[in-house]
Amino acid sequence: MRVLHLPYGSPMIELSNALRSKGIQSTSCHFNEHPFEFKPDICLQLNTLSNQEQTKKLKQFLKESMLQYDIFHFHFGETFFADKSDLKMLERAGKKMVVHHHGSEIRLKSAAQTNNPYVRIKPEWTEEKINRRNSTLANYIAHAIVQDYELESYIKTAYKHVHVIPHTIDANQYTPHYPSPKNTPPLVVHAPSSRHIKGTEFILNAVNELKRSGLSFQFQLIEGVSNEEAKNLIAKADLVIDQLLIGASGYISSEAMAFGKPVICYIRQDLVSKYPRGLPVVNANPDTITAVLKNLLQNPQKWKDLGIKGRKYIEKHHHAPIVANRYIDIYKKL
Protein backbone atom coordinates (compact mmCIF):
# COMPACT_ATOMS: atom_id res chain seq x y z
CA MET A 1 0.00 0.00 0.00
CA ARG A 2 1.73 3.16 -1.26
CA VAL A 3 0.08 6.45 -0.30
CA LEU A 4 0.82 10.03 -1.40
CA HIS A 5 -0.43 12.95 0.73
CA LEU A 6 -0.62 16.46 -0.73
CA PRO A 7 -0.41 19.46 -1.03
CA TYR A 8 0.39 21.04 2.40
CA GLY A 9 -0.12 21.10 6.17
CA SER A 10 1.40 20.00 9.45
CA PRO A 11 -1.47 17.55 10.24
CA MET A 12 -0.84 15.90 6.85
CA ILE A 13 2.83 15.35 7.71
CA GLU A 14 1.98 13.93 11.14
CA LEU A 15 -0.55 11.55 9.59
CA SER A 16 1.90 10.36 6.94
CA ASN A 17 4.54 9.70 9.60
CA ALA A 18 2.00 7.77 11.66
CA LEU A 19 1.09 5.59 8.68
CA ARG A 20 4.76 4.81 8.08
CA SER A 21 5.08 3.67 11.69
CA LYS A 22 2.37 1.10 10.87
CA GLY A 23 4.25 -0.22 7.84
CA ILE A 24 2.46 1.80 5.15
CA GLN A 25 4.64 3.32 2.43
CA SER A 26 3.38 6.86 2.95
CA THR A 27 4.85 10.09 1.57
CA SER A 28 3.93 13.69 2.41
CA CYS A 29 4.37 16.30 -0.29
CA HIS A 30 4.13 20.09 -0.11
CA PHE A 31 3.70 21.95 -3.38
CA ASN A 32 5.19 25.15 -1.95
CA GLU A 33 7.66 26.15 0.71
CA HIS A 34 5.82 27.21 3.88
CA PRO A 35 6.75 30.14 6.16
CA PHE A 36 6.24 27.87 9.20
CA GLU A 37 9.09 25.68 7.90
CA PHE A 38 7.18 22.41 7.98
CA LYS A 39 9.23 19.37 7.02
CA PRO A 40 7.39 17.15 4.51
CA ASP A 41 9.10 14.24 2.78
CA ILE A 42 8.98 16.12 -0.54
CA CYS A 43 8.64 19.81 -1.36
CA LEU A 44 8.18 20.76 -5.02
CA GLN A 45 9.01 24.43 -4.28
CA LEU A 46 6.53 25.59 -6.89
CA ASN A 47 6.58 29.05 -5.33
CA THR A 48 10.08 29.53 -6.76
CA LEU A 49 8.92 28.87 -10.34
CA SER A 50 7.05 30.79 -13.04
CA ASN A 51 3.44 29.78 -13.78
CA GLN A 52 4.54 27.93 -16.90
CA GLU A 53 7.27 26.09 -15.00
CA GLN A 54 4.83 25.22 -12.21
CA THR A 55 2.42 23.62 -14.65
CA LYS A 56 5.20 21.64 -16.30
CA LYS A 57 6.57 20.40 -12.97
CA LEU A 58 3.14 19.39 -11.67
CA LYS A 59 2.36 17.43 -14.84
CA GLN A 60 5.67 15.62 -14.55
CA PHE A 61 5.14 14.93 -10.85
CA LEU A 62 1.66 13.55 -11.53
CA LYS A 63 3.04 11.28 -14.24
CA GLU A 64 5.75 9.97 -11.91
CA SER A 65 3.34 9.62 -8.98
CA MET A 66 0.89 7.52 -10.98
CA LEU A 67 3.67 4.97 -11.45
CA GLN A 68 4.76 5.08 -7.81
CA TYR A 69 1.60 5.30 -5.66
CA ASP A 70 -1.63 3.32 -5.26
CA ILE A 71 -3.61 5.76 -3.13
CA PHE A 72 -3.83 9.54 -3.41
CA HIS A 73 -4.86 11.32 -0.20
CA PHE A 74 -5.85 14.89 -1.03
CA HIS A 75 -5.93 17.42 1.83
CA PHE A 76 -8.00 20.63 1.94
CA GLY A 77 -9.80 19.41 -1.18
CA GLU A 78 -6.76 20.31 -3.28
CA THR A 79 -5.48 18.03 -6.04
CA PHE A 80 -2.68 18.31 -8.59
CA PHE A 81 -4.53 20.78 -10.81
CA ALA A 82 -6.90 23.63 -9.92
CA ASP A 83 -9.46 22.47 -12.49
CA LYS A 84 -9.39 18.94 -11.01
CA SER A 85 -8.72 17.41 -14.44
CA ASP A 86 -6.20 15.10 -12.77
CA LEU A 87 -9.03 13.22 -11.04
CA LYS A 88 -10.24 11.71 -14.30
CA MET A 89 -6.68 10.71 -15.18
CA LEU A 90 -6.20 9.02 -11.83
CA GLU A 91 -9.54 7.25 -12.09
CA ARG A 92 -8.71 5.93 -15.57
CA ALA A 93 -5.39 4.67 -14.22
CA GLY A 94 -7.23 2.69 -11.55
CA LYS A 95 -5.88 4.76 -8.67
CA LYS A 96 -7.70 5.00 -5.33
CA MET A 97 -8.46 8.42 -3.86
CA VAL A 98 -9.67 10.00 -0.62
CA VAL A 99 -10.30 13.66 0.19
CA HIS A 100 -9.50 15.15 3.58
CA HIS A 101 -11.19 18.41 4.51
CA HIS A 102 -9.77 20.54 7.31
CA GLY A 103 -11.87 23.69 7.67
CA SER A 104 -12.74 26.82 5.76
CA GLU A 105 -12.86 25.10 2.38
CA ILE A 106 -16.15 23.39 3.37
CA ARG A 107 -17.61 25.61 6.13
CA LEU A 108 -20.99 26.79 4.82
CA LYS A 109 -22.02 30.10 6.36
CA SER A 110 -25.77 29.40 6.30
CA ALA A 111 -25.33 26.08 8.11
CA ALA A 112 -22.65 27.32 10.51
CA GLN A 113 -24.69 30.29 11.71
CA THR A 114 -27.62 28.03 12.62
CA ASN A 115 -25.81 26.79 15.71
CA ASN A 116 -23.07 29.38 16.13
CA PRO A 117 -23.59 33.15 16.41
CA TYR A 118 -19.82 33.75 16.53
CA VAL A 119 -18.58 31.88 13.46
CA ARG A 120 -16.72 33.69 10.69
CA ILE A 121 -16.22 32.51 7.14
CA LYS A 122 -13.30 33.34 4.89
CA PRO A 123 -14.88 35.57 2.22
CA GLU A 124 -13.18 33.78 -0.66
CA TRP A 125 -15.04 30.57 0.24
CA THR A 126 -18.53 31.34 -1.02
CA GLU A 127 -21.20 28.66 -0.70
CA GLU A 128 -21.42 28.44 -4.49
CA LYS A 129 -17.68 27.80 -4.74
CA ILE A 130 -17.73 25.22 -1.91
CA ASN A 131 -20.69 23.28 -3.32
CA ARG A 132 -19.32 23.30 -6.86
CA ARG A 133 -15.93 22.08 -5.68
CA ASN A 134 -17.36 19.34 -3.46
CA SER A 135 -19.57 18.16 -6.29
CA THR A 136 -16.57 17.82 -8.61
CA LEU A 137 -14.56 15.93 -5.99
CA ALA A 138 -17.47 13.64 -5.13
CA ASN A 139 -17.80 12.59 -8.77
CA TYR A 140 -14.50 10.76 -8.41
CA ILE A 141 -14.02 10.29 -4.66
CA ALA A 142 -16.43 8.36 -2.44
CA HIS A 143 -14.65 8.68 0.90
CA ALA A 144 -14.17 12.03 2.66
CA ILE A 145 -12.50 12.61 6.03
CA VAL A 146 -12.85 15.40 8.59
CA GLN A 147 -11.48 15.78 12.12
CA ASP A 148 -14.67 16.66 13.99
CA TYR A 149 -18.46 16.80 13.82
CA GLU A 150 -18.55 20.55 13.23
CA LEU A 151 -17.00 19.92 9.81
CA GLU A 152 -18.90 16.67 9.22
CA SER A 153 -22.18 18.57 9.22
CA TYR A 154 -21.21 20.52 6.08
CA ILE A 155 -20.42 17.54 3.86
CA LYS A 156 -22.46 14.65 5.27
CA THR A 157 -24.63 14.60 2.14
CA ALA A 158 -21.93 15.65 -0.34
CA TYR A 159 -19.97 12.38 -0.34
CA LYS A 160 -21.03 8.75 -0.25
CA HIS A 161 -18.98 8.10 2.90
CA VAL A 162 -17.87 10.68 5.47
CA HIS A 163 -15.50 9.65 8.27
CA VAL A 164 -14.77 11.64 11.43
CA ILE A 165 -11.23 10.93 12.65
CA PRO A 166 -9.51 13.15 15.26
CA HIS A 167 -6.18 14.91 14.76
CA THR A 168 -3.13 12.66 14.57
CA ILE A 169 -0.68 13.40 17.39
CA ASP A 170 2.43 11.33 18.05
CA ALA A 171 2.36 11.66 21.84
CA ASN A 172 5.91 10.33 22.02
CA GLN A 173 7.12 13.49 20.29
CA TYR A 174 5.55 15.73 22.97
CA THR A 175 7.18 15.65 26.38
CA PRO A 176 4.59 16.91 28.87
CA HIS A 177 5.51 19.97 30.91
CA TYR A 178 2.70 20.29 33.43
CA PRO A 179 2.18 23.83 34.75
CA SER A 180 2.90 24.52 38.38
CA PRO A 181 0.93 26.95 40.56
CA LYS A 182 4.34 28.20 41.68
CA ASN A 183 4.98 29.67 38.22
CA THR A 184 4.63 33.41 38.78
CA PRO A 185 3.67 35.23 36.78
CA PRO A 186 2.06 32.49 34.66
CA LEU A 187 2.46 32.53 30.89
CA VAL A 188 -0.63 32.50 28.65
CA VAL A 189 -0.13 31.93 24.91
CA HIS A 190 -2.30 32.08 21.79
CA ALA A 191 -1.11 30.91 18.36
CA PRO A 192 -3.56 31.96 15.64
CA SER A 193 -3.12 30.83 12.04
CA SER A 194 -5.73 33.49 11.21
CA ARG A 195 -6.59 36.22 13.73
CA HIS A 196 -9.92 36.90 12.05
CA ILE A 197 -11.09 33.27 12.05
CA LYS A 198 -9.73 32.40 15.50
CA GLY A 199 -11.17 35.44 17.30
CA THR A 200 -7.84 36.86 18.41
CA GLU A 201 -9.21 40.37 19.07
CA PHE A 202 -11.50 39.00 21.80
CA ILE A 203 -8.54 37.30 23.47
CA LEU A 204 -6.46 40.49 23.31
CA ASN A 205 -9.35 42.50 24.78
CA ALA A 206 -9.71 40.00 27.63
CA VAL A 207 -5.97 40.04 28.32
CA ASN A 208 -5.85 43.84 28.41
CA GLU A 209 -8.92 44.09 30.64
CA LEU A 210 -7.55 41.57 33.14
CA LYS A 211 -4.14 43.24 33.23
CA ARG A 212 -5.79 46.62 33.85
CA SER A 213 -7.69 45.07 36.74
CA GLY A 214 -4.37 44.17 38.35
CA LEU A 215 -4.18 40.45 37.56
CA SER A 216 -0.53 39.45 37.14
CA PHE A 217 0.34 37.20 34.17
CA GLN A 218 2.38 37.19 30.99
CA PHE A 219 0.78 36.90 27.55
CA GLN A 220 2.47 35.94 24.30
CA LEU A 221 0.99 35.94 20.83
CA ILE A 222 2.73 33.25 18.78
CA GLU A 223 2.93 34.42 15.17
CA GLY A 224 5.51 34.53 12.39
CA VAL A 225 7.68 31.75 13.80
CA SER A 226 8.54 28.26 12.58
CA ASN A 227 6.38 25.28 13.56
CA GLU A 228 9.20 24.03 15.78
CA GLU A 229 9.54 27.36 17.57
CA ALA A 230 5.78 27.57 18.09
CA LYS A 231 5.83 24.14 19.72
CA ASN A 232 8.68 25.19 22.01
CA LEU A 233 6.73 28.25 23.14
CA ILE A 234 3.60 26.19 23.82
CA ALA A 235 5.73 23.76 25.85
CA LYS A 236 6.83 26.67 28.07
CA ALA A 237 3.30 28.04 28.60
CA ASP A 238 1.07 27.58 31.63
CA LEU A 239 -2.21 28.15 29.77
CA VAL A 240 -3.05 27.94 26.05
CA ILE A 241 -5.96 29.70 24.36
CA ASP A 242 -6.92 28.19 21.01
CA GLN A 243 -9.91 29.52 19.04
CA LEU A 244 -13.11 31.28 20.12
CA LEU A 245 -15.31 31.41 17.01
CA ILE A 246 -15.37 28.13 15.09
CA GLY A 247 -17.00 26.02 17.79
CA ALA A 248 -14.61 23.04 17.69
CA SER A 249 -11.17 22.30 19.09
CA GLY A 250 -8.29 22.99 16.73
CA TYR A 251 -4.94 21.34 16.12
CA ILE A 252 -3.33 23.74 18.62
CA SER A 253 -5.69 22.38 21.29
CA SER A 254 -4.46 18.87 20.60
CA GLU A 255 -0.79 19.85 20.60
CA ALA A 256 -1.20 21.85 23.81
CA MET A 257 -2.91 18.95 25.57
CA ALA A 258 -0.12 16.65 24.40
CA PHE A 259 2.27 19.00 26.20
CA GLY A 260 0.11 18.75 29.31
CA LYS A 261 -1.31 22.28 29.13
CA PRO A 262 -4.77 23.50 30.17
CA VAL A 263 -6.59 24.64 27.04
CA ILE A 264 -9.29 27.25 26.55
CA CYS A 265 -11.33 26.87 23.36
CA TYR A 266 -14.90 27.37 22.20
CA ILE A 267 -16.77 24.08 21.70
CA ARG A 268 -20.32 24.49 20.43
CA GLN A 269 -22.76 23.26 23.07
CA ASP A 270 -24.53 20.92 20.66
CA LEU A 271 -21.19 19.28 19.80
CA VAL A 272 -19.77 18.78 23.31
CA SER A 273 -21.45 15.37 23.71
CA LYS A 274 -20.06 14.18 20.36
CA TYR A 275 -16.46 14.39 21.55
CA PRO A 276 -15.04 11.36 23.35
CA ARG A 277 -15.94 11.39 27.01
CA GLY A 278 -13.59 13.34 29.24
CA LEU A 279 -12.57 16.18 26.93
CA PRO A 280 -10.83 18.54 29.40
CA VAL A 281 -10.98 21.70 27.27
CA VAL A 282 -12.18 24.75 29.21
CA ASN A 283 -15.03 26.18 27.14
CA ALA A 284 -15.12 29.90 26.36
CA ASN A 285 -16.58 32.14 23.66
CA PRO A 286 -16.15 35.87 22.91
CA ASP A 287 -18.77 36.74 25.56
CA THR A 288 -17.20 34.64 28.32
CA ILE A 289 -13.46 34.64 27.61
CA THR A 290 -12.62 37.39 30.13
CA ALA A 291 -14.42 35.64 33.00
CA VAL A 292 -13.15 32.18 32.03
CA LEU A 293 -9.53 33.29 31.72
CA LYS A 294 -9.76 35.21 35.02
CA ASN A 295 -11.19 32.19 36.82
CA LEU A 296 -8.50 29.88 35.49
CA LEU A 297 -5.69 32.29 36.33
CA GLN A 298 -7.04 32.68 39.86
CA ASN A 299 -7.23 28.92 40.40
CA PRO A 300 -3.70 27.64 39.66
CA GLN A 301 -4.38 24.45 41.61
CA LYS A 302 -6.51 23.34 38.62
CA TRP A 303 -3.75 23.69 36.04
CA LYS A 304 -1.83 20.48 36.60
CA ASP A 305 -5.00 18.40 36.89
CA LEU A 306 -6.30 19.78 33.59
CA GLY A 307 -2.88 19.23 32.02
CA ILE A 308 -2.75 15.58 33.12
CA LYS A 309 -6.31 14.96 31.89
CA GLY A 310 -5.45 16.58 28.54
CA ARG A 311 -2.35 14.45 28.08
CA LYS A 312 -4.30 11.26 28.88
CA TYR A 313 -7.04 12.33 26.47
CA ILE A 314 -4.51 12.70 23.66
CA GLU A 315 -2.88 9.36 24.43
CA LYS A 316 -6.27 7.65 24.35
CA HIS A 317 -7.94 9.32 21.38
CA HIS A 318 -5.29 11.05 19.23
CA HIS A 319 -2.09 9.01 19.56
CA ALA A 320 -0.65 8.31 16.13
CA PRO A 321 -0.66 4.46 16.13
CA ILE A 322 -4.32 4.40 17.23
CA VAL A 323 -5.52 6.99 14.73
CA ALA A 324 -3.45 5.54 11.86
CA ASN A 325 -5.37 2.26 12.11
CA ARG A 326 -8.60 4.07 11.27
CA TYR A 327 -7.07 5.48 8.07
CA ILE A 328 -5.74 2.09 7.10
CA ASP A 329 -9.26 0.65 7.51
CA ILE A 330 -10.57 3.29 5.07
CA TYR A 331 -7.77 2.61 2.57
CA LYS A 332 -8.70 -1.08 2.59
CA LYS A 333 -12.27 -0.19 1.59
CA LEU A 334 -11.29 1.86 -1.48
Residues 114 and 134 in one domain: yes
- pLDDT of res. 240: 98
> For residue 267, which of 235, 287, 243 has the smallest C-alpha distance?
243
State whether 219 and 115 are in the same domain.
no
Q: Are residues 203 and 266 in the same domain?
A: yes
Give exposure, 109-129, as e/b (b: 16+ Cβ within 10 Å).
Answer: beebeeebebbbbeeebeeee
Q: Specify the number of domains making up the chain.
A: 2
| Shared domain check, 216 and 125 | no
**Quick one: 159 and 79 in the same domain?**
yes
Tell me how far apart the alpha carbons of residues 5 and 142 are, in angstroms, rounded to a whole number: 17
pLDDT at 8: 93
The answer to whether residues 221 and 325 belong to one domain is: no
Domain with residue 271: its CATH number is 3.40.50.2000
Co-location of 154 and 234 in the same domain = no
Q: What's the pLDDT tens digit per position in 49-58?
A: 999 999 999 9
What pLDDT is attached to residue 37? 80
Q: Check whether residue 149 and residue 224 sit in a common domain.
A: no
* Spans of the chain, pLDDT less than 50: none
Do 197 and 292 fall within a single domain? yes
The pTM for the full model equals: 0.92
Please give the pLDDT value at position 36: 74
Same-domain status, 21 and 158: yes
Among 190, 253, 247, residue whose Cα is nearest residue 218: 190
- What was the pLDDT predicted at 291? 98
Residues 212 and 255 in one domain: yes
Q: Is 224 in the same domain as 98?
A: no
The answer to whether residues 192 and 224 touch, using CB atoms and an 8 Å cutoff, is no
pLDDT score at 4: 98
What residues make up the domain containing 90?
2-170+319-333
